[in-house]
Structure 1
Amino acid sequence: MSEIEISPAMWAPAIQQAGAAEVIAAPSLTYWQDVRQRLSANKLAMCGLAFIVLLVLAAIFGPFVYGHNYYEQDLKHANVPPAFPTYSVPQTDGSTARFFFNTSSQNLYAIGPDGAMGDLVRATKKDLMKKTQIFKIGDRQVSIDTSKGKITLEDGTELVSGGWQWNSINPLGTDQLGRDVLARQLYGARISLTVALVATLVNFFIGVFYGGLAGYLGGKTDTVMMRVVEIISTIPLTLYVILIMVVLTSGFAAVILAIGSVYWVDMARIVRGQILTLKQQDYVAAARTMGATTPRILVRHLLPNAIGPILVTLTMLIPSAIFIESFMSFIGLGVTPPEASWGTLTSEAVETLRAYPYQLFFPAAAISLTMFAFNFLGDGLRDALDPRMRT
């Protein structure tokens, strides 16, 4: 083995600088600053939060800015898709007339110079045996074979689509009554956010305090209070809605009242479990020794320390409440016509799914994206509020 040469310089004392021991490598953050920092680093959670903010803004201000409302009917423009193929018909004076033929409804619409869909053009002649229709487009006749989708002029020239064009009047198309789908989507967002607000308030003011009181008092009081929760949770929510509808005869009011009456039981169970653990801590015994009352201990000491699980549970229960309202409206127990919710839009679109799939796509996408957004935000809050994740 080779010997390691040790020089006197290796034994020189380290250079000491005043205040070096007090230098902190990383800035000191409070608990909530650390939560905000870790939540902002979660891309999925921030995308979910951004979507929820945009949804709230669209639901509040969208109907005021948008030119259509959810109840106006225009049967002449029923079942018009958001994008459609256009055809050009040369005129004798050298100009060109454009039109769109809806193969599902077999209606033909003129396209204006600005590209906007114009009036409905009625057929001048129909041959049901040959499944052909003849339309007058300007000074030319157009024959349409509905069985083959073939469009020809009177001289036999076959017309080819000149490309697809976006519907500038109804960006998301119209339904079977000619109502604007986007306007009904925005109004449906209001319904869903109203349900989310009710679920939040109910869970926070009833579920949190009911579960907190049951967990803190314990004993026979806890037993009786939790047996009430178990009885309520065993009855299906659909049955609550039906029973309330018998009294109120209003679908949306029945759903709101049902959610407000029984939707807090899951939150109560979770808060009770947290309080049962926290009430054994020394700071609770110290507060009790100093004469603090039960409401003060519950509000000032216990619930603030359980705020993490409460917020996570809240964000997880909101999408469930939105889905419940959509399901109730889908089966006819929600909002009543002409009001619109995502559930009623889905229910109406199922009947015409094969012919007009876009009518089902938009409300189903809205429900799915909203539930994904709240779940992503809930997962991000769960990780950000976990004190064991602090660095």
Structure 2
Amino acid sequence: MSEQKISKELFQPAQMKASEHEKITRPSLTFMQDSWIRIRKNKAALVSIIVLGLIVIMAFIGPLISGYTFEEQNTPQASLPPKVQGFENMPFWNGKQNIGGEEVDVYKQKNVPEDTYYWFGSDTLGRDQFTRVWKGTQISLFIGLVAAFFDLIVGVTYGMISGFSGGRVDNVMQRILEVASAIPNLVVVILMLLVLDPGIMSIIIAIAMTSWITMARVVRGQVLKLKDQEFVLASKTLGGSTPSILFKHLLPNLSGVIIINVMFSIPSAIFFEAFLGFIGLGIPAPMASLGTLISEGYKTLQVLPYMVLYPTLVLCIIMIAFNLIADGLRDAFDPKMRD
């Protein structure tokens, strides 16, 4: 049997080249880029971000596009049902109301000009409900953002100092937290209303005095878990100061937990403000928030249901959107928390 020769060109080396051993096949991603990829896979969180963005935009441009101001009163045009251009033949937006079992065109009954439209109706003083709903949304969002700001500044700083210091300092700071958390928020609000004039400032101060407590406790627990790890010990060995360790090394590792708690604290503050408005301790007239609008609409629920419908709907959407976004951020920043 003759021996067949095979050319060397048909053989390929099995081993990889030295330059290909450490070649990265996938581009490296930062922590935030990797988290954003996970958020995009969460459809509920993504839709909530879009919806919340639209509500924020409407909160600023809504009071400007209706042609009315939030405090403008027109008593001859009070208690008008919703009426929208182009929807005159559709129920609920045609300016008609069921009175005594009969559908009545309230605009004609009150001799309102034909070119007058109230998209969300008018309240009992003739003020445009569309403008007031979005102005109230603006104020409620502002109060929620202020509460989140105090969470970031006071809560994070207090929790980091308490957890990193440990020992007697930590014990004293935690006892102060326990005393502060034992005082109900409603009591603090009432005290603020006695000291200050009723308004946005007194509500903001009352919420800010207690909203940071939860954040401080969460941050303290995370700092206690991280402060004995190798990167902190290495920084101490190299002579790093305490502020440098706290804000340069620990704070970036706490960013995920901080962002998640901030996203949960915003709807909590908005709901608390709405509760204050509902029980009569909210923003004084003629200013409005979602809580005061719901309180005013509740008084005429059986006669003018649209007055409570729209602010309640906006408040529910805000609460659901913030909570879904917070859930998405929690899964993105810490996938282990899904289980």
TM-score bracket, normalised by the shorter chain, equals 0.7 to 0.9
**Residue 77 (structure 1) aligns with:** 77
**Residue 172 (structure 1) aligns with:** 120
Paired with 2:241 and 2:187, the residues of 1 have a C-alpha distance of 40
Paired with 1:33 and 1:278, the residues of 2 have a C-alpha distance of 23
Structure 1 unmatched runs, 5+: 1-11, 88-98, 111-116, 123-166
Paired with 1:321 and 1:315, the residues of 2 have a C-alpha distance of 11
Task: In structure 2, give the amino acid aligned to 1:273.
Answer: G
Partner secondary structure for residue 110 of structure 2? strand
Spell out, residue by residue over 1:190-243, the C-alpha distance to the aligned partner (whole angstroms, 9 max, x if none).
111111111111000000000010000000100110111111111110110100
1:380 aligns with 2:336: no
**Residue 160 (structure 2) aligns with:** 212
1:278 aligns with 2:230: no
| 8 A contact 1:107–1:121 mirrored in 2 | no
1:316 aligns with 2:264: yes
Paired with 2:187 and 2:70, the residues of 1 have a C-alpha distance of 30
How far is the alpha carbon of 1:340 from its aligned partner? 0.9
Point out the structure with the larger helix share. 2
Partner secondary structure for residue 264 of structure 1? helix
| 8 A contact 2:144–2:266 mirrored in 1 | yes
| 8 A contact 1:229–1:265 mirrored in 2 | yes
| 8 A contact 1:108–1:121 mirrored in 2 | no
1:13 to 1:365, Cα distance in 2 relative to 1, 3 A:
same
Structure 2 unmatched runs, 5+: 1-10
**Residue 133 (structure 2) aligns with:** 185
Count of residues in correspondence between the two structures: 319
**Residue 288 (structure 1) aligns with:** 236
Paired with 2:76 and 2:97, the residues of 1 have a C-alpha distance of 12
Mark the structure with the bigger radius of gyration: 1
Paired with 1:388 and 1:246, the residues of 2 have a C-alpha distance of 47
Q: TM-score if structure 2 supplies the norm length?
A: 0.86
1:221 to 1:58, Cα distance in 2 relative to 1, 3 A:
same
Paired with 1:272 and 1:58, the residues of 2 have a C-alpha distance of 38
**Residue 46 (structure 1) aligns with:** 46
1:101 to 1:342, Cα distance in 2 relative to 1, 3 A:
closer
Spell out, residue by residue over 1:55-77, the C-alpha distance to the aligned partner (whole angstroms, 9 max, x if none).
22222233233311111122222
Aligned-CA RMSD value: 2.9
How far is the alpha carbon of 1:323 from its aligned partner? 0.2
Paired with 2:187 and 2:109, the residues of 1 have a C-alpha distance of 48
**Residue 57 (structure 1) aligns with:** 57
1:344 aligns with 2:292: yes
Q: Match for 1:197 among 141, 145, 169? A: 145
**Residue 120 (structure 1) aligns with:** 110
Point out the structure with the larger strand share. 1
Paired with 1:363 and 1:28, the residues of 2 have a C-alpha distance of 46
| 8 A contact 1:70–1:184 mirrored in 2 | yes
How far is the alpha carbon of 1:46 from its aligned partner? 1.2
Task: In structure 1, give the amino acid aligned to 2:226.
Answer: L
| 8 A contact 1:232–1:262 mirrored in 2 | yes
How far is the alpha carbon of 1:296 from its aligned partner? 1.0
Percent identical: 40
| 8 A contact 1:71–1:179 mirrored in 2 | yes
Q: TM-score if structure 1 supplies the norm length?
A: 0.75
**Residue 7 (structure 2) aligns with:** none
